[in-house]
Chains A and B, each alone.
Chain A
Amino acid sequence: MPNVSMTVNGKAVSGTVEARTLLVEFLREQLRLTGTHVGCDTSQCGACVVHVNGDSVKSCTMLAVQAEGASVTTIEGLAKGDELHPMQAAFRENHGLQCGFCTPGMIMSAVDLAKKNPDPSETEIREWLEGNICRCTGYHNIVKSIRAGAEAMRG
C-alpha cells in the first residue's frame, strides 16, 4: 500500500493508504480531523470542501495520493487559536448555520471565493455555491454571512 505525505493545517503528516483511499477518508479516518464531512457520494454536496494548495477542493473527489506533497487546510486549521477566521465569525454573527453539517464545507468554499473575488455580489455568491448544498438555512443567511465575511477579510 502506498505511503502518502502532506502538510495538513501546517503540520507534516504521513500515512499508509490504499491507492483508492479518498483524501476525505485520510483526513477523517487516519488523521481524525472530523470537521470535514461527507454528505453525498456524487461530488454534489460540498460538505467535504478543504483547501489544497490554497484552492477549494472537494476532498471526496480527490485521492489521498493525489495530495502527496500538498498543503491542505481543513476547517480545523482556519482559526488562529481562539480567534475565529473572519468567515467563521461572519457565519456565527449572521446565523449562517443551523445543524452545522454543511458548515465546514460552506466556510472553506466561501473563504476561497472571497480570496478570488473580494467583493462578491449576491448573484456571484449564489452561483459560487452551486457545489455546496445546505438543507437547513435556505441559503438566505449563508449569502449574508459570506458578504459580511468577505468584507471582513478585505479588512
Chain B
Amino acid sequence: MTDQGIGARVLRKEDFRFVRGRGKYTDDIVLPNQTWAAIVRSPHAHATINGIDASAALAMPGVVRVLTAADFAAFGGLPCGWLVTGKNQTPMVEPKHPILAEGRVRHVGDPVAVVIAENRIAARDAAEAVEVDYSELPAVVDMRKATAAGSPTVHDEAAGNLCYDWELGDKAVVDAAFAGAAHVTTLELVNNRLVPNAMEPRAAIGDYDNSTGEHTLYTSSQNPHVIRLLMGAFVLQIPEHKLRVYAPDVGGGFGSKIYHYAEEAIVTVAAKLLERPVKWTSDRSEAFISDAHGRDHITRVELAMDANGKFLGLREFTLANMGAYLSTFAPSIPTYLHATLLAGQYTTPVIYSEVKAVFTNTVPVDAYRGAGRPEATYLLERVIDKAAKEMGMSPVDIRRKNFIQPDQFPYQTPVALVYDTGNYEATLSTALKAADWDGFEARRAAAAREGKLRGIGICCYIEACGIAPSNVAGALGARAGLYECATVRVNPTGSVQVMTGSHSHGQGHETTFAQVVAEKLGIDIGQVDIVHGDTNKIPFGMGTYGSRSLAVGGAALVNALDKVISKGRKIAAHLMEASADDVVFENGIFKVAGTDKEVPFGAVALTAYVPHNYPLEELEPGLEETAFYDPKNFTFPAGTYVCEVEIDPATGVTRIVSFHASDDFGNVINPMIVEGQVHGGLVQGIGQALLENASYSEDGQLLSGSYMDYCMPRADDVPSFTVDHQVTACTHNPLGVKGCGEAGAIGSPPAVINAIVDALKDYGISHIDMPATPAKIWHIINAGSVAQAAE
C-alpha cells in the first residue's frame, strides 16, 4: 500500500471546492436569457380536473407561458424500468404516468400546469394565480383499505388497486416445513414510509440550441445516461446524439435522484418551445410531495423452528405501497431487492414470500437507501429476536446457531442468490466484544438504579450490492443492462482523465477512483481527474445506486487500466528493444525483467502521442482505453450491529448510549470514506427507527410535509459511533470489493428496535412499530395507569 493507493486514508480531492463554497450544483448554474418554471400541483389526493384557467396568470408581469397537459400530448408518459410478472405469469398493471396530469390528479403534488416567467418570483406568484377547477374524488391511502372491496380506485385498469401479486418460493414446500415445526413465531409489522430528503432539492435546466437541434438537460441526477435513455427514447423521442444530460455536483441522492421525473421532461420541452433556457428548482415543501418516497410495507412474517431453535422455514406476506404511479424502479424494490434477501446470514432451508404491490393516492414510492433490503432485514431480524424470546434463547445464540458457516461458500440460498463469500462469526464476535455485550446486564442494573430502562439490540444483516449481472436482471424483468463503463485517457504528458459512468453525489469517487488509478499506474493522484455526470464526455454509464460504484464502476476502471498497461508494455518493449512478454510494469515503471532496462510511464505516454520511434505497423498511436464491465454476481456485504439504548420512563425518550458497527465490505479502498458512509447510513436508519415518518391523513394530505413536521435526525439525536471492518474479499470482481453505501441504513433499524423492545421487556410487549417515538413508548410504559385514568 502506498500513501495514495488502495487502502490509504487519502483526504478528498473534491473537498477543496466544497469547503470554499465552490461546488457547482444545478441551481447554481445560470444560463444567458434563462427563464424560470414554477409547477402548479394538485392540492387534492384524488380529483378530476374540469378546467384550467390561466388567464390571470398570463396577465401577470414577467409571465412568458403557461403549459398544461395539452402541450405534452405528443409525448409519452414517464416509463417504468422494471416489469414484474406476478403469480400465474400475470404482468404487473402499468398505468400511464403522464408528464402533467391528464384530466385527473392522483396524489397531492401531482403536477397540473407549468408557469414560465422571467424570474423565479414572478413564476411562483403566477403559479398561485392559475385557477384549476377540480371535482374531488374519494381517495385511498391505507393499503389494507385500498385492497378491500369497495375502495376508491386510483387507476381504472388496476382492479382492487393491485399492481401485482407476486411470489417467490414454493408455498406448499414451505407450508410442509411449518407443519413439522416445533415452534412458529409470528410477527406483524410496518416498515414506515420515509422521505429521502437529500439536502439539495432537485433542480433541472432545459436548454435548446436551435442551430444544432441539440438539447441540454442539467439535472440533479444519480445517473445522467439513464435519464438520457429514458427521457430521450421513451418520453420525448430525442435521439441520444441530440440530447446531452449533465448532472454536475449533486447534493445527496439516497436513491431519490435515480428516477426520471416529470420536471426533467418539462424543462426540456419548454426550452425548445420558447427557445430559451428554462430552470426549475424544487423547494423543500415541493420536494416532500414530488420526490419519490421510500419503504412503506405492511408485513406478516412467520418463522418455523425445531425444538432447538434451528430455522426450518420462513414465510412472509407483504403489502408494498407503490403510491399513485410506478416510479422508475419501484416494482423491483419489494420483489427482487427484498424477497431475495430473506435468507439473511442463515441456513433457513425453505422460504416463501408473497408481495402485493398496491396503488394508493400518495406520492410514488421507489428505492431509498437500501431499497428492499432494509425491509427484508428488518422483518427477519425482528422475527428472530421475537423467536429467541419465545424459545428462551439469547438473541446471539439463536443467530449463531443458524449462521451459514465460512466453509459453506459459495452458498446457494433458497431465494435465488448465491453468496460468494463471508464470515458472519467474525463480524458477530467483533461487534459483541466492541459493544461489551457480556457486561450489559451490569449496565442495565446500574441504569435501573437511576430509574432508567436500558436495552441492548443486535442485528446481523446481509445485503446484495453491485447490481447487477445484466442477464440475471433481464430475466427478472429489468428493461436495461446494469454494467458499467470507464474510459481511461492518458494524456501526452502522463496525466490521466477517467470518464466513469458512476456518479458521485457525496461518495467521494473523485478520490477513491483516483486512488485506484494511482495504485495501478504508480502516478500521483494529483495527476488524475475523475470525470463523471456528463453524457457528452462519458461513453455510457448506468450510474450510482445500490452500492454499485466501486464493485461495478471500479471494476470497469480496473479493466480499462489493464488495457492501458497492456498497450504500454508493447510500446515500452519497442523502446527497450525487448519482447512485450518480458516487460513488467511496477510502480509506474516498465522494466525488462532480469535487466536494468526501464522506461517510465510518462515516457511511454509521450511516445504514444509523439510516435516518432513507435511500432506503427503493429500498434495505433494514442493511449486511451475503454472497458465495459458486467458483474458476474451480486456482492454480499454483511455485518453485525449492536445498539444500546436508555429510555427515560418519565418522558418515553430514547437515548442511544452506544452503537457499534462491524462490517465486511470486502477490500476497502479508502477507510476514511467507508467509515463516513457507515456513519451516514446509521443515522438514516436510526432516523427511521426513532424519528422519521411520512404520515398521511385519511384523505391523502401529507401531514409531515416540511422540516417542521417530518423529524429529520439532528446532531443531538444521535451518538458518535464505533465501527470496524472485517474482510472477506469478494471473489468475482477485480478489486475484491463489496460496496458500503447502504449497510448502515439496512442494519441499524432492527438493532435499534430490538434494543428498545429489550429495554421495555418488563412491560409486556414483543414489538413496537417504527418510529418508536417518545409518545408511543410513554404509552407502553404507562398503559396501566392510562387505562386506570380512563376508567
Contacts and interface: CB of A to CB of B under 8 A. Distances in A.
Given A130-B716, A136-B252, A136-B680, A100 B11 contact: no
B284 interface: yes
A121 B251 CA distance: 29
A100 B720 contact: no
B25 A138 contact: no
B715 A125 contact: yes
Contacts of A89: 19
Interface stretch (A27-35, A51-59, A63-71): A27-35
A118 interface: no
A115 interface: no
Contacts of B251: 37, 39, 99-102
A126 B716 contact: yes
Interface residues of A, number: 58
A116 interface: no
Interface string B102-128: 000000000000000000110000000
B679 A138 contact: yes
Interface in A124-146: 125-127, 129-130, 132-143
A135 B684 contact: yes
Nearest to A145: B19
A79 interface: yes
Interface in B114-147: 120-121
B716 A39 contact: no
A137 B720 CA distance: 11
B121 A18 contact: yes
A130 B681 CA distance: 19
B201 interface: yes
A107 to B, nearest CB: 6
A39 B284 contact: yes
Nearest to B24: A34
B30 interface: yes
Contacts of B254: 135
Interface string B665-702: 00000001101100111111000000000000000000
Nearest to B14: A100
A134 B17 CA distance: 18
Contacts of A79: 20
Contact of A143 (B27, B252, B715): B715
Interface string A98-116: 1111111001000000000
Residue with the highest number of chain A CB atoms closer than 10 Å, among B30, B120, B706, B714: B714
Nearest to B18: A100
A75 B679 contact: no
A100 to B, nearest CB: 3
Contacts of B508: 98
A45 interface: yes
Interface in A7-54: 18, 20, 28-29, 32-42, 44-45, 47
Given A42-B284, A98-B507, A135 B199 contact: yes
B252 A140 contact: no
B308 interface: no
Contacts of B714: 126, 129-130, 133, 139
A62 interface: no
B700 to A, nearest CB: 22
B710 to A, nearest CB: 10
B682 A138 contact: yes
B680 to A, nearest CB: 5
Nearest to A144: B720
Given A99-B251, A100-B14, A132-B715, A35 B20 contact: yes
Contacts of B673: 95
A18 B125 CA distance: 13
B707 A98 contact: no
B20 A98 contact: no
Contact of A34 (B16, B19, B21): B21
A133 B506 contact: no
B706 A40 contact: yes
A39 B200 contact: yes
A79 to B, nearest CB: 6
B23 interface: yes
Contact of B679 (A38, A74, A125, A137): A137
B249 interface: yes
A99 B16 contact: no
A104 B23 CA distance: 10
Chain B interface size, as a band, is: 35 or more
Contacts of B23: 35, 100-101
A72 interface: no
A97 B252 contact: no
- Main SS class of interface, A: loop
Nearest to B505: A99
Identify the interface centre among B14, B251, B718: most chain A CB within 10 Å of its CB: B251
A130 B285 CA distance: 20
A45 B707 contact: yes
Given A39-B200, A41-B284, A98-B507, A33 B716 contact: no
A124 to B, nearest CB: 10
B715 A126 contact: yes
A138 B681 contact: yes
Given A39-B284, A95-B672, A100-B251, A135 B197 contact: yes
A141 B18 contact: no
Given A41-B706, A76-B20, A99-B198, A140 B721 contact: yes
A109 to B, nearest CB: 11
Given A135-B254, A142-B715, A35 B706 contact: no
A89 B44 CA distance: 48
A45 to B, nearest CB: 6
A103 B18 contact: yes
Given A35-B21, A74-B21, A98 B721 contact: no
Contacts of B684: 135, 138
B683 A139 contact: yes
Interface string B549-567: 0000000000000000000
B257 to A, nearest CB: 11
Contacts of A95: 11-12, 672-673, 675-676
A102 B750 CA distance: 28
A76 B120 CA distance: 24
A32 B29 CA distance: 10
B252 A99 contact: yes
Contact of A127 (B17, B250, B683, B716): B716
A44 B708 contact: yes
Contacts of A91: 15, 19
Nearest to B17: A100
A42 B707 contact: yes
Contacts of A142: 715
B28 interface: yes
Interface string B714-738: 1110101100000000000000000
Contacts of A92: 11-12, 15-16, 19
Nearest to B708: A42
Nearest to B723: A140
Nearest to B197: A135
Nearest to B686: A138
B283 interface: yes
Nearest to A92: B15
B449 interface: no
B612 interface: no
Nearest to B670: A95
Interface in B227-270: 249-252, 254
Contacts of B27: 34, 38
Contact of A133 (B24, B199, B283): B199
27 contacts: A29-B120, A35-B22, A37-B200, A38-B201, A38-B283, A42-B284, A44-B706, A92-B16, A99-B252, A99-B505, A99-B506, A100-B17, A100-B19, A100-B23, A101-B23, A101-B25, A101-B251, A101-B252, A102-B251, A103-B19, A122-B720, A133-B199, A136-B680, A137-B683, A138-B683, A139-B714, A140-B676
- Pairs of residues from A and B, 5 with the lowest C-beta to C-beta distance, nearest first: A35-B21, A101-B251, A100-B18, A99-B506, A75-B21
Given A38-B283, A98-B680, A122-B720, 4 more contacts: A93-B11, A98-B508, A103-B19, A140-B721
